[in-house]
Structure 1
Amino acid sequence: MSLVHFLVGITLLFSFQVVGATSITTLAEARASLVVPSYTAAERQTLADQAYLFISQLYVHRDIKIKDFGKKADPLNKLRAIKKYATHFSNEELHQRISGVFTQLHDLHTNYIAPKPLSCAATFIPLRFESVLDGEQSSVLVSAKLALQAQSIEGIEVGDQLLSINGKSVEKVLRRLGKISGGANPEAMRVRAIEMLSLRSLSTQKVPQEDSLVLKFQRKDQRIEKTVPWFAYRNLECEGINSKEEAPVSFRRSFNIFEDEFQKKYNRIFGNPRLVNKSSRWAAESILDEVFEVATINTKAGVVGYVQLKGFSWDNQNLDISTVVEGFRRVIENRLSNAIGLVIDVRGNPGGYIVFAEKVIQLFSHKEVEPTKVQMLANALNESIFLKSNGEDNRWSTAISTAMKANHKMIVPMTITPSSEANSLGQIWFRPVVVLTDASCFSACDLFAAGMQDNDAAVVIGVHKTTGAGGANVMEHRIFRQIMGDTHNPFETLPFSQNMRVSWRQSIRAGKNEGVLIEDAGVKSDIVVPLRPTDISGESKELMTAINDIIAGLQLNYKSGLTVRQGSSILLANGQEAKWTERIYGVDAIDLFLEKTKVSTVELKSSSSPEEVPFVIPGLNKDWSDQPVTLIGKKDGKQVFRVVRELTWRGD
C-alpha cells in the first residue's frame, strides 16, 4: 500500500471527530500517555451503573449468547458485582472488568468504548497477514506491506510464512487472541485474531503488553527473524475535544446502521481483500469508488464482471442511499452488459446501511424479495426511546406496547426496509451471480449475503465456512442519551467522553431460511474455496479458477430474461396509451401487474434468441405522471424473472 493511501486511511480512523494534529511514534514512546485516566468514585459508579442498564435493558442477544457460549457469557451477574464494588476498584481494574464483560459476549456490535485518550488511539505494525490452506495445513502468510515505517520491516517479503511471535507459535497466539476478539464463531474469531496481529484499536482493545514483536518467518528453506516495533497512532485533536463539544449524532442514520467499527478502521489502513489487481479495474475515477469498484475478467468461457463492494456506508456526505444504489445499477447495466456472469466480492465488508444492503438484492432476484426482519426486547425503556425519538406513537412503540401487554419478551418481528422499497427497481441481471464472502463480512454484509442466498439471487462462495455473523442493528449510549433529553433521562453522561454500543435489534432471515437468526451462525457458504498460498501474491489464481468453473456450470440455469436497457423508464407523450416493446427470450408467458393487480397476460413462443414483444395496457394514459409496471416472466408455469418498468408521461 502506498504511503499516501496509508496516511489517508489512518487519518480516517477517527472520522467522527475533526481531525487535526496527529502523532505516529513507537508504542514505547507513547505508552506513558496511553493510560486510563483517574476516575472519581462517583464516575466509577456511573460507569458500572450505566453498563448494567445498557446490557440488562437493551441487549437483545443475551439468550442466544448463553445458549451458544454457556453461562459464562451471561453478563448480568458480573455487572451486578461490578456495580456493587465499583468504588473499590482501581481505575485500570474497573476499566478492564467492564471491558472484559463486553468482550466475553462474542458480539462485535456490543462494545465498551475506552475513555480518552485511549479511544483516540491505535497501535499497528506495517504488515498485513492472511490465513491460507497449504495442502491440509493452515498457515499464516504476509499478504501486504505498508509504506509507512517501511524501514521497520525491511527483509520481510509478501508470501513469507509467520511461524512465531515472541517465541510463541503463531497458532497459540491466534487462539489467545481469538478468545478476546469478539468473534461470534470459530471462523470469525480466527479472522479477527489475524487482523489483531496488525492492528489494535485502543477504543475497544488493550494496549499491547510488549513494545515490539520478535517475528520468525519461513521462506522456502530459509528461516528469518525480525524484531518489529509496535507503532502508536494518536489523534491529538480528538484527545482535546470533550463530550460537550462533540457534534450531535443522527438517530435516523444510526437507526438504519448495521456496521462493525473495527473492521472499518482496519480496511482504511490495510484495504479489503480483492480478486483482481487495482490496475485491472476501470480507469475512470468515481465518487462511488469508496463504496464499490468494477472490473472485467477475461476467462475461457467469456468475460466475467467483477464488483468489489467494499462497504454499505461512506464518508462522502454528498452521497445518499438512492444515489449509490442508482450508481450501482448503472454500472451493472452499462459496463457489464456483455458479461456471462458476475462476482460480487464482499470480503472484509464491515456493513453499513441496511436499506442499501437490502435494496440491491432485487437487481438479481427473479422473484419478489423478502427483506430481513428484526425483533427487540419489549420493555418500557425501549418504548420510551421510540416515543421520544418520534414525538408520537409509531409502529415500533406500538409493537413494544402490544408485546408487553401480552407478556412477551420480544416484539413481533418487523422489517426495517419496507417491502415496497426492496422491490421497487426489479431485476436487471439475468445471468449467474456469485457472492464471494469471508468471515470478515459482517453486519449489513451478513444481511446482504443472507438476502442473496435466501431469495435465490446468487450462489455464495466463501473462503471461510460462514460470514462474520453480526446479526443486529447497533446503537450507541450517547445516541440514547441525546434522544431521551434533559428530563427523566436514565442515560447519564459518561466520563472522559466514553461510550458504549449495543446490539439493539436482532436480525431474522427470510425466504428459504425464514426464522433463522444471523447472530453467531452467519451465512453458511454454499461452496467453500479456501485461500491457497498462490492466492496471496498477485491475482487470486486458484480462487478465480474455482469461481470461473462455478459460473460456467451455472450457465444452463439462466435461459430467460430481457435485453438490458439503461434505466427502467419508458417515456410516453402526455395522454398516450401505455404502449412499448421489450426484447425478451426464454419465456412462454408474461404477466403484467399494476401495483398488485394483474392486468393482462401475454402468451409467447419460447425462444432462446431475444425477440421484440409489444405491450399495451388499454385505457391506461396519463399526463405528467409516473406508473410502475411489473413484468413477471414465466416458463412452463414457473416464474423466471421479475422486471419493473416506470411508465413516464411527459410533454407532447
Structure 2
Amino acid sequence: MRSLSAHLPPFEEWVTVSYIGTDGVARELRENWQIVENRPSAAGPAGEASLVLGLVHESEEVSRAEVMLFVPHVIEQQLAVDAGRSPDIAAGETASTMPEVFTARTVQTPSGTFVHIRIHTFHVPDAGAFVEEFVRLIGELPQNGLIVDVRGNGGGSVWASELTLQTLTPRRITPEPFQFINTPLNLRICRSNPTLRAWVNSMEQSVETGATFSAALPLTPEDLANRIGQQYFGPVVLITNARCYSATDVFAAGFQDHAIGTVLGTDDNTGAGGANVREQGRFMEDFPVASSPYLPLPNGAGMRVAIRRSLRVGERAGTPLEDLGVVPDERHRMTRRDLLEGNVDLMARAGELLRSQPVRELTIADVTRADGSLRLSLKTANVDRVDVYLDRRPRTSVDIPDGRADVTVPGAGAATSARVDGFALGELVASSSRRL
C-alpha cells in the first residue's frame, strides 16, 4: 500500500512476489498496482486538544484503507451508528458507538476466556467521549483479564491516549513530558503562541546554560489524567508492534512506565515516533505575514513536522521515547497460525500472561449516612487492606477480608467524595472513587 497523499506514485507498474508453495514448487505472483479513493479522514481533535496532536499521517491513511479493503463491515457498522440504528456485529463482539475506533470482543484461549479490545486509532475529536466509550466497553465484558491491542495504530490525540491510562491502574498517572530543542526560531515560536509559553523560561536560560533541550513539560493536564481513576480491576496485557506511532507510542510508554501490565510486542519496539506534530499552517497563523519566517508552499501543498519530543517517566524517567520507542516486556514472533487463523497463537500467549496474574476487585457498592457518620459497603477480591479518603483527606485504614465489608467513618456526614485504595501485602493494587 502507498498513500498518494504522502508519497509519489510508484515507479513500477506491478509488484512480483516470489514464493515456495506447500508442495515445494517455486512460483511467482504478479500484481498490478491499483488506485482507489480512500475513505475520508475522521475529524481530529478540536480546540486546545488539536495543539497536542501526535499522528503519523501515512499510517492513518493506510489504516483507513485496510478497513475499507479487509473489514468493510466496520464501515457498515459506522453508517448504522450515524443513522441512529443498531449495528450488526459478529459473534462474540460487543457493539461500540465508535466502530471505526474500537473493536471489542471475547476471545477463547487455552488459558480461559478474556476480553480483547482493539484500539484502531486515537484520532478522535473528543478525548472525553473516547474514554467514556472505552470505559463502557470494558465494563460490559468479563473482568478476569483484558487484552488491549494497539497494533498498527498511527496515533492521534495525545489526550485520548493518556487519559485512558488511569482507567486501568490504581496508581496516579504522571503524563509523559515533552521538550523543544533550543534554537532561536523555536524560541520565537514559543513566544508567539500562548499555549507554548510555559517552555519560554527554560529556552531563554539556555543562552547561559548551553542546554540543548528545553524543560520537559507535559501536554496532558495531570488532574485530567487522574480525574476518573481506575475502572478495570483485572490484569491487563498491551499488544504492540512496530507500526505504533506518536500518541500510541506515548500510550504504550505510559502503560509500561506505570507498571499497568505486561507489554507484549510482535516486534522489537514500537515505531519510536513519540513526538508532538504540528502543521505548517499552524506556524503561519502565529506570526504576522510581514514578519513571518514561513512562506506558503506551492500548489496548496502542506507539511507536518514534529516540534516536541517526549520523555519517559517512572523508572525510565528522562529516557527519550522518540527514536527508541517502547521495548516490550515479552516478545511474540507471529506464526503461520496467527496469519491464517486470526492471531490465535498471539491471543494464546496473551492469555497465558493474564492467567498468571490475580484478578482484583474493589467496588463501593453502597453509601449510607447516619448520625454524622459515613458507612461504605465494599465488594473486594484479593485485597487485604483499604485506606479511605474523603474529600481527598485520609480518614481511616482497616484490614478487611475478601468478599463484602463495611467501613464506617465517624464525623464524615458532610463529605462530598470518597476514594478507597486497596492493598495486598502492602502494595497498592486497586482504587475506587465515588461522588457522594
The 2-side partners of 1:310 and 1:450 are apart by: 17
* Corresponding position of 1:295: 105
* Corresponding position of 1:580: 376
Rg larger in structure: 1
- Matching residue within 89, 108, 119 for 1:309: 119
Deviation at 1:311, TM superposition (A): 1.1
* Corresponding position of 1:30: none
- Matching residue within 182, 193, 210 for 1:389: 193
Identical columns (%): 26
- Matching residue within 19, 22, 38 for 1:217: 19
The 1-side partners of 2:49 and 2:172 are apart by: 26
The 1-side partners of 2:205 and 2:410 are apart by: 44
- Matching residue within 133, 138, 162 for 1:327: 133
Structure 1 residues 404 and 292, CA gap change in structure 2 (3 angstroms):
farther
Deviation at 1:618, TM superposition (A): 2.1
Deviation at 1:203, TM superposition (A): 3.8
What are the superposed Cα offsets for residues 371-404 of structure 1, whole Å, 9 maximum, x if unpaired?
111111234433433443328x842334433444
* Corresponding position of 1:518: 321
The 2-side partners of 1:564 and 1:464 are apart by: 40
Deviation at 1:423, TM superposition (A): 1.5
* Corresponding position of 1:492: 295
- Matching residue within 155, 159, 162 for 1:358: 162
Please tell me whether the aligned partners of residues 257 and 314 of structure 2 are also in contact (alpha carbons under 8 angstroms): yes
* Corresponding position of 2:399: 604
* Corresponding position of 1:637: 426
- Matching residue within 93, 96, 99 for 1:282: 93
Deviation at 1:205, TM superposition (A): 2.7
Deviation at 1:591, TM superposition (A): 1.8
Structure 2: unaligned runs, 5 residues or longer:
75-88
* Corresponding position of 2:406: 613
Please tell me whether the aligned partners of residues 481 and 489 of structure 1 are also in contact (alpha carbons under 8 angstroms): yes
Q: Is it true that 1:201 corresponds to 2:3 in the alignment?
A: yes
Structure 1 residues 474 and 576, CA gap change in structure 2 (3 angstroms):
farther
Deviation at 1:576, TM superposition (A): 8.0
Alignment of 1:412-491 (within 5 A): 412-491=215-294
The 2-side partners of 1:491 and 1:444 are apart by: 27
The 2-side partners of 1:369 and 1:531 are apart by: 32
Amino acid at match of 1:308: R
* Corresponding position of 2:80: none
Amino acid at match of 2:188: S
Deviation at 1:514, TM superposition (A): 1.3
- Matching residue within 361, 365, 373 for 1:561: 361
**Structure 1 range deviating more: 287-296 or 543-552:** 543-552
Deviation at 1:233, TM superposition (A): 4.3
Structure 1 residues 551 and 636, CA gap change in structure 2 (3 angstroms):
closer
The 2-side partners of 1:585 and 1:297 are apart by: 24
Deviation at 1:201, TM superposition (A): 2.2
- Matching residue within 141, 146, 152 for 1:342: 146
The 2-side partners of 1:426 and 1:281 are apart by: 28
Paired positions, count: 415
Greater percentage in helix = 1
Tell me which stretches of 4 or more aligned residues in structure 1 moved more than 6 Å: 570-573
Structure with more contact order per residue of length (Cα contacts < 8 Å, sep ≥ 6): 1
Deviation at 1:215, TM superposition (A): 3.2
* Corresponding position of 2:58: 262
Amino acid at match of 2:404: E
Q: TM-score normalized by structure 2?
A: 0.85
The 1-side partners of 2:272 and 2:364 are apart by: 35
Q: Is it true that 1:549 corresponds to 2:348 in the alignment?
A: no
Structure 1 residues 617 and 642, CA gap change in structure 2 (3 angstroms):
farther
Q: CA RMSD in A?
A: 3.2
Tell me the SS of whatever aligns to 2:418.
strand
Structure 1: unaligned runs, 5 residues or longer:
1-198, 238-248
Structure 1 residues 281 and 505, CA gap change in structure 2 (3 angstroms):
farther
The 2-side partners of 1:226 and 1:579 are apart by: 71
